Amino acid sequence: MKPRIVRRHTGPHRDVTRRPSLEHVLRSTYARLAFAAVSLAAVCVVLVAWTVLRTYANDNLMLLARSIAYTVEAAVVFNDKTAAEDAIAQIAGHEDLAEVRITDTHGATFAIWQRTGDGPLTRWVHRLADLPLPGGAVVPVTHNGEVVGKIRVRGRGHQFAIFLAGGIGAVLVCLIIILGAGTLIARQMHRNIVEPLRALAEVAHAVRRDRAFSRRVQATPIAELHELGDDFNALLDEFEVWQHSLNEQNATLAHQANHDRLTGLPNRAHFESRLEAIIREARVSGTTVGLLYIDSDRFKEINDTLGHDAGDAVLVAIASRLREALRKTDLFARLGGDEFVALLQGLTDEEEAIAIAEALSESMLEPITLPGGHEVTTSVSIGIAMFPLHAHDVASLLRTADSAMYQAKRHGDRAWQLAK
């Protein structure tokens, strides 16, 4: 037997992924663009400057090499090494040169000059800076048109090191300036873009969470966001109208479900539910509740003789007169046909209920004028029952009051009857 797999649904799936905010995305995007732009500009500037500097360094080395070759020509011809080294030192000592070497026609070193005084770090920087520069310049030493030796000149790379340090520093300064400007631009974007979108999201959340259809999005200076806000507000207008119409329809349906269409009074279902709640409260508080069961005495005769329209007019008039004769706190309802019921709260004794029943009877003494001008007279029979004196629950209270009403109708000489 295969085991059963029980799947428990814990509610709708919710995406709990933490997403970056729009402000963060805009700032990071701007920072990446700024860094890429500055880096690309720096690379382009370095390449152009390196090309120019390489050409300049090469021409400068060739010029220096020719100058040195002309100066040491006599020393090479007369094989005076000391004079050659002195001549080289006088020229190379003031130039950006690392080494000057004189070789004879056989390639052997005749004289050499090397710059001294640079520390290990300086020499390492100069060697690194010298990598992209020309390897050196070689020119012949001639005498009377014959080559008597060669001059090999190697640059020091000091100028390129200065250029490299300055370029890196300039790039860093530009990057700092651009990032600072980017911060200001990001704040401006936050005010112009992020804040309106955040306000729109807050309104949307309020509508979804609290049904606050009266909320609206404020105008913004950006055309696209302003148009979006206008469309959203128009949608909210439609939702508000729809919500208002729905509330009215619900209220109408609720009123129709709980009230009599002819008289507008509460119907039997609504009355019995309210009666149950009031009886529960009276049972807890120990108070007295009175119930008047009311029936029209001549309604059937009027309805059969004059028609249903006249009968409806009589029922409306009876309901209106009885409602006016009751207290505002009393619950008055139509149970059906020509039967009405009144629920009296806050009574101290039976005499109060009897006084109210007599007032209801007196309200029916005047004739009722029908729509056609015809007048009719009618009266009511009232049964009075008290909780908890005559009954201890809703059903018993209604039956007792109904029975008392029929007793009053049979007597004929009195409009009300108190239950026994």
What DSSP string describes 351-363? HHHHHHHHHHHHT
Residues 222 and 328 in one domain: no
Q: Of 123, 145, 163, which one is at a domain's C-terminal end? A: 163
186 located within any domain: no
318 located within any domain: yes
179 located within any domain: no
> How much is the mean pLDDT over the chain?
83
Residues 411 and 356 in one domain: yes
- pLDDT exceeds 60 at position 13: no
Supply the pLDDT for residue 68: 84
Supply the pLDDT for residue 8: 47
Task: Encode pLDDT of 259-301 as tens digits.
Answer: 999 999 999 999 999 999 999 999 999 999 999 999 999 899 9
3-class DSSP state for residue 110? strand
Cα–Cα separations (whole angstroms), residue 316 to 82, 125, 248, 383: 140, 110, 25, 21
Q: Of 147, 163, 179, which one is at a domain's C-terminal end? A: 163
Residues 127 and 222 in one domain: no
Supply the pLDDT for residue 1: 45
183 located within any domain: no
Pick from 139-143, 306-310, 345-349, 397-401 the range whose average pLDDT is largest: 397-401
Task: Encode pLDDT of 370-410 as tens digits.
Answer: 988 889 999 999 999 999 999 999 999 999 999 999 999 98
Structure tokens at 261: 């269409």
Task: Encode pLDDT of 37-50 as tens digits.
Answer: 777 877 787 777 77
**Choice between 81 and 6, residue whose per-residue pLDDT is larger:** 81
Catalytic-role residue among 312, 338, 402, 413: 338
Q: How far apart are CA 373 and CA 322, in angstroms?
A: 22
Residues 113 and 253 in one domain: no
Answer for the pair 270, 263: CB distance below 8 angstroms, yes or no.
no
Q: Is 80 annotated in the active site? A: no
- State the total domains in the chain: 3
Q: How far apart are CA 149 and CA 29, in angstroms?
A: 62
Cα–Cα separations (whole angstroms), residue 29 to 185, 193, 302: 12, 15, 87
| Residue at token pair 């007792």 | 400
Supply the pLDDT for residue 125: 59
172 located within any domain: no
Answer for the pair 44, 37: CB distance below 8 angstroms, yes or no.
no
Cα 315 versus chain centre, distance: 57
Share of the chain above pLDDT 90, in %: 34
44 located within any domain: yes
Q: How far apart are CA 32 and CA 115, in angstroms?
A: 45
Q: What CATH number is attached to the domain comprising 150?
A: 3.30.450.20
| Residue at token pair 């439609």 | 238
Supply the pLDDT for residue 393: 93
Share of the chain above pLDDT 70, in %: 87
Mean pLDDT value across residues 311-329: 95
Residues 69 and 129 in one domain: yes
Supply the pLDDT for residue 395: 93
Structure tokens at 363: 């309200």
Residues 285 and 329 in one domain: yes
- pLDDT exceeds 60 at position 5: no
Residues 111 and 231 in one domain: no
- pLDDT exceeds 60 at position 126: no
- pLDDT exceeds 50 at position 339: yes
3-class DSSP state for residue 342? strand
Q: How far apart are CA 79 and CA 84, in angstroms?
A: 9
Domain that holds residue 240: 217-258
3-class DSSP state for residue 151? strand
193 located within any domain: no
- What is the number of other CB atoms lying within 10 angstroms of the CB of residue 411? 12
Q: Of 139, 163, 187, which one is at a domain's C-terminal end? A: 163
Structure tokens at 252: 């109408």
Residues 34 and 147 in one domain: yes
141 located within any domain: yes
- pLDDT exceeds 70 at position 252: yes
Pick from 57-66, 127-136, 172-181, 330-339 the range whose average pLDDT is largest: 330-339
- pLDDT exceeds 50 at position 11: no
Supply the pLDDT for residue 86: 85
Q: What CATH number is attached to the domain comprising 375?
A: 3.30.70.270
Residues 249 and 305 in one domain: no
**Among 346, 314, 316, CA closest to 328:** 346
- pLDDT exceeds 90 at position 54: no
Using a 10 angstrom Cβ sphere, with 0-12 exposed, 13-18 middle and 19 or more buried, the burial of residue 275 is buried
